[in-house]
Amino acid sequence: MKVMNDVPSLYVASATERSIGKTALCLGLALLFKEHGLKVGYFKPLGWHTETKEGKPIDSDTVLMKETLRLEEPLDTLTPVLLEYHYLDQYSPEDSKDLLDKISRAYEEVSANKDIVVVEALHEPCLGASLNLSAAKLAKTFSSQILLLSSTHQDRAVDEILSESACISREGSKCCGAIFSRVRDHIERRIKERMVPTLERYGIHVWGVIPESTVLTAPTVKEIVGVLGGEVLCGEDYLSNQVEHYLVGAMTHEAAIRYFRRAKRKAVVTGGDRPDIALAALETDTSAVILTGNLYPNVRVLAKAEEKGVPVILVPYDTYTTVNKVRDVTGRITVGDVKRINEAKRIVSEHVQWKGLLEALGIKI
């Protein structure tokens, strides 16, 4: 089914399974496009059933985009197909035509009267191939150009981007370039001096190298509590504190003070039977104290934490289990999270050649 609306669209996909930051990029681009007078649509043809609202499965990224961009279309139009973890139990290759028709009708509605549509892939371009609904195939249906995002900062990222670009071309779609995201200071120079020129030689333009932003990546105490299922003993007004480091306290009070001073905006994990460690943490830049083993702390700890504005969280796990549960938690942009929404817009504005991207799509502002 050929989409009739001749609206430029940018299809943002991850270059690898490990790549992170796709939704933040889509949001930042869409906000900038809208700010400069363009009528912007958003579409995620395949989504994940990440949560349930009013008895209906929804994709949380789609909810974020709908609310932030103030889109009129209903959620099931913005994301017409929601996949479960075992999606081959939901659909088979025989369903492909019906699913494509459903997606195409939804895209027609989303793109109507728009200047540009930002299309977000489920993840890397190959996902959905078993249903004949890979990003490369869908991009051809929408006449979209695919932008690849990589947060892999090793040399293999070049090969991964080239491989995905070749796959996109074989499907008859076009890769308009790539962006590197979450780049740490120590690797930025190598990406710009080695990896970018190599990709350019193969005709892959790199539109931006986005540095890591702890505003986006560092989880809040509230997000950590959600993962641990812990009890907030005090400091409920400070659950928006962000956590950039995790430190384990299992030493003397004097050694703990020196140790804790090394890191700012940290969560300190220790036993509830170690009030000396908790109090030492509270004398330094600490975002939260996590007490393990369901051991309630000394009242002095809670009083000091209240004074400092530091949440104290009680969890049933041992220290090792607790650290393993939280170490890979990253921040997520959610509806109404003004700080992170503004940060997504800022980093795209400052580190992505977004006006050049528009020109590549045939749009001048």
| pLDDT, tens only, 258-278 | 899 999 999 999 998 999 999
User: Residues of the chain whose pLDDT is less than 70?
Assistant: 1-5
C-alpha distances in Å from residue 322, one per residue of 242, 252, 285, 286, 311: 17, 21, 21, 17, 16
pLDDT at 3: 44
The reported pLDDT for the residue numbered 1 is: 43
Which CATH superfamily does the domain covering 219-326 fall into? HprK N-terminal domain-like (3.40.1390.20)
pLDDT tens readout for residues 159-215: 999 999 999 999 999 999 999 999 999 999 999 999 999 999 999 999 999 999 999
CATH number for the domain formed by residue range(s) 9-214+333-360? 3.40.50.300
> How far, in Å, CA of 66 to CA of 78, rounded?
8
Query: In the chain, what are the domain boundaries?
Result: 9-214+333-360, 219-326
pLDDT of residue 245: 93
Number of alpha carbons in the 13 Å side-chain half-sphere of residue 259: 19
Sign, Cα dihedral of 238, 244, 248, 253? negative
Strands in 174-183's sheet, in edge-to-edge order, are 40-43, 116-120, 9-14, 145-150, 174-183, 206-211
Whole-structure pTM value: 0.88
> What pLDDT is recorded for position 5?
67
